[in-house]
A and B are shown apart, each in its own frame.
Chain A
Amino acid sequence: MGEPYRMERQVSDQRRPESLYGQGDEPDPRFSLANERTALAWMRTALALVAAGVAIISISSLGVVPRWTALIGAASCLGGALLAWRAVAGWERVERALRMKEPLPSPRALAMLAGGVVVLAAVMVLLSVAELLRR
């Protein structure tokens, strides 16, 4: 029974980042994999924000919509970039909590994402109404 344990140590010693894998105990692999999938779901959300921004910018390059739409696209891109960074940082935080047997951190990014989407939509509605009234 000692052999699998030795293999476990060997694998975990090589893994990066060392600051994460160097501490705590190996959690149930299912939890690690669930954490990985959650981080990937965040990453896809970030990619969707960037894709939305890119689509808006592409449409604004056609010159058929007001120029401020490019800035809305830019804001969406910026939000996507921040969320991508957050996905990696969040994965590390949860993995650390799993290894240290601590309570999982709360998904604060969810509230930030919801707030950001609401603000972006509100700005877009306001600018659209202003554009309609100007004509």
Chain B
Amino acid sequence: MTGFPGREGLQPERTALAWQRTAITATVVMVPLIVVSARLGFWLMTVLECAATMTAAVLVVAVHRRFAQLRDQDIPDSPFVPMAGVAVVTALAAVIGLVTALVLFRS
């Protein structure tokens, strides 16, 4: 189980660190929107944004599991589900940003 063929070049570590950077970015991207929504009194959106931010924070923890998987397995697991998760968080942030922008533009 230790003979990961791509161990040279620290491939698993680099991949895990790329995940970490992505997860941290996903966690902070929504913070300004939370402030704006709370200031404007959009409570539903504020709650949604907080939920999405916490989902992204959970992803930071999940990255450690991925790190262990990459370290211990000869064949890497599929990154599809966590990747789709980040895409959903990104899309959610974008949609909330769009709605906020439209509300601001019309007001």
A interface residues (Cβ-Cβ under 8 A, vs B): 4, 7-8, 11-12, 15-17, 20-21, 26, 28-30, 32-34, 36-37, 39-41, 43-44, 46-48, 50-51, 53-55, 57-58, 60-61, 67-68, 70-71, 73-74, 77-78, 80-81, 84-85, 87-88, 91-92
Contacts and interface: CB of A to CB of B under 8 A. Distances in A.
Chain A to chain B: the 5 pairs with minimum beta-carbon distance, closest first: A81-B94, A30-B6, A74-B101, A84-B90, A77-B97
Contacts, number: 161
A47 B26 contact: yes
Contacts of A53: 94, 97, 101
Interface in B7-66: 9, 11-12, 14-15, 18-19, 21-22, 25-26, 28-30, 32-33, 35-36, 39-40
Interface of B: 4-6, 9, 11-12, 14-15, 18-19, 21-22, 25-26, 28-30, 32-33, 35-36, 39-40, 70, 73-81, 83-84, 86-87, 90-91, 93-95, 97-98, 100-102, 104-105
Contacts of A68: 105
B94 to A, nearest CB: 4
B18 A21 contact: no
Contacts of A37: 14-15, 18
B5 A40 contact: no
Given A4-B74, A84-B91, A91-B79, A73 B15 contact: no
Contacts of B79: 36, 39, 91
A84 B18 contact: no
A118 B40 CA distance: 32
Contacts of B35: 58
Contacts of A73: 97, 101
17 contacts: A16-B80, A16-B81, A17-B80, A20-B80, A29-B6, A29-B75, A33-B11, A33-B76, A36-B18, A36-B76, A40-B18, A48-B25, A54-B29, A54-B30, A77-B101, A84-B86, A87-B87
